[in-house]
């Protein structure tokens, strides 16, 4: 109840009856998923020993996220989180730490499977079906952005089937685009649906000059990770077929200017030496058209 003081203005007020804030069904859904998933989301620190100009050694650290997929300590994450590392350390939600070993990797899809040897039974996440995703569907991301462990963000599936330029030489197709905030350190963490099932692995962001979030993040569909897991279970190494070309689709007026069929096609710009395309006799352009 507001009690004004003589000669002074009222600064704040309170309801006559104080009640706890009610939660909407959507808020409760977020809370339930977070409570169930945060214990299975891990913090990964990978350490690489490098040499400087004077042949001295120094340690370089890379930070990321991952998540447990079974009670045997198997963890899915991004390959770039652990690539080139000499040591992989996993920190659980209870702050206990374990050394991890690599089990399998798929650099083409930026995927890695690692394992820890836990001293107790650990909670794990169930893998969903990314083939049934729809634009507008609610998603939740859990990870360790900038080292802030156990961070939850929510959003929707903004688009599907996106192509992301992961590096100068690598593009990943078929990515999930989301506006759930993903930042540095979120890489390898789970993207969950409203049932708490993993439908993607947070992989990349479209960020500003300082690497901050602009509301455009990308996750690898979990069904791609299932293929790598199937390879591991069958004792196979994961290798993706590679054509060995770089090209662009051209059609219409642009194709006419190049004296190519206007209905469109793939214009080969570069052929990797020794690749399948090279062996098949595919060659890059030999003529410049102005």
Compute the distance between CA of residue 142 and CA of residue 222 in angstroms, rounded to an integer.
15
The yes-or-no answer on residue 187 being catalytic is yes
- The answer to whether 50 touches 58, Cβ cutoff 8 Å, is yes
24 is an active site residue: no
In the set 46, 130, 187, 193, the catalytic residue is 187
Longest CA–CA span in the chain (Å) reads 93
d(CA 188, CA 111) in angstroms, rounded, equals 8
Contacts of 160 (CB under 8 A, 6+ apart): 133, 135, 174, 176, 177
Name residue 152's beta-bridge partners.
Answer: 142
Helices (H), 180-263: 222-233, 252-257
User: Is the CB of residue 158 less than 8 Å from the CB of residue 151?
Assistant: no
Residue 94 catalytic? no
Catalytic choice (46, 65, 106, 110) = 110
Say how far apart CA 164 and CA 204 lie, in whole Å.
8
Side-chain-side CA neighbours of residue 209 (13 Å): 0
Catalytic residue, chosen from 46, 65, 80, 158, is 80
Q: Which residues are catalytic?
A: 80, 110, 187
């Amino acid at each position: 109840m507001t009690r004004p003081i003589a000669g002074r203005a009222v600064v704040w007020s309170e309801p006559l009856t104080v009640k706890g804030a009610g939660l909407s069904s959507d808020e409760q859904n977020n809370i339930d998923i977070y409570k169930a998933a945060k214990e299975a989301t891990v913090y990964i620190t990978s350490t690489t020993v490098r040499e400087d100009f004077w042949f001295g050694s120094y340690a370089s650290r890379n930070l990321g996220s991952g998540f447990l997929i079974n009670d045997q300590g198997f963890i899915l994450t991004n390959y770039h989180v652990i690539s080139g590392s000499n040591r992989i350390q996993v920190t659980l939600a209870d702050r206990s730490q374990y050394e991890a070993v690599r089990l399998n990797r798929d650099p083409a899809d930026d995927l890695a499977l690692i394992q820890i040897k836990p001293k107790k039974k650990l909670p794990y996440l169930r893998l969903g079906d990314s083939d049934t995703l729809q634009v507008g569907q609610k998603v939740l991301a859990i990870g360790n952005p900038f080292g802030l462990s156990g961070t939850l963000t929510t959003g929707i599936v903004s688009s599907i089937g996106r192509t992301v330029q992961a590096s100068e030489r690598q593009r990943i197709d078929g990515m999930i685009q989301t506006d759930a905030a993903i930042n540095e350190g979120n890489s390898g963490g789970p993207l969950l649906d409203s049932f708490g099932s993993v439908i993607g692995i947070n992989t990349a962001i479209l960020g500003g000059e300082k690497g901050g979030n602009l509301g455009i993040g990308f996750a690898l569909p979990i069904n791609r990770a299932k293929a790598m897991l199937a390879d591991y279970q069958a004792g196979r190494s994961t290798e993706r077929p590679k054509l060995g070309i770089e090209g662009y689709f051209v059609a219409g007026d642009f194709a006419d200017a190049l004296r190519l069929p206007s209905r469109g096609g793939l214009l080969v710009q570069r052929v990797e030496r020794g690749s399948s395309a090279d062996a098949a006799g595919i060659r890059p352009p030999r003529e410049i058209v102005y």
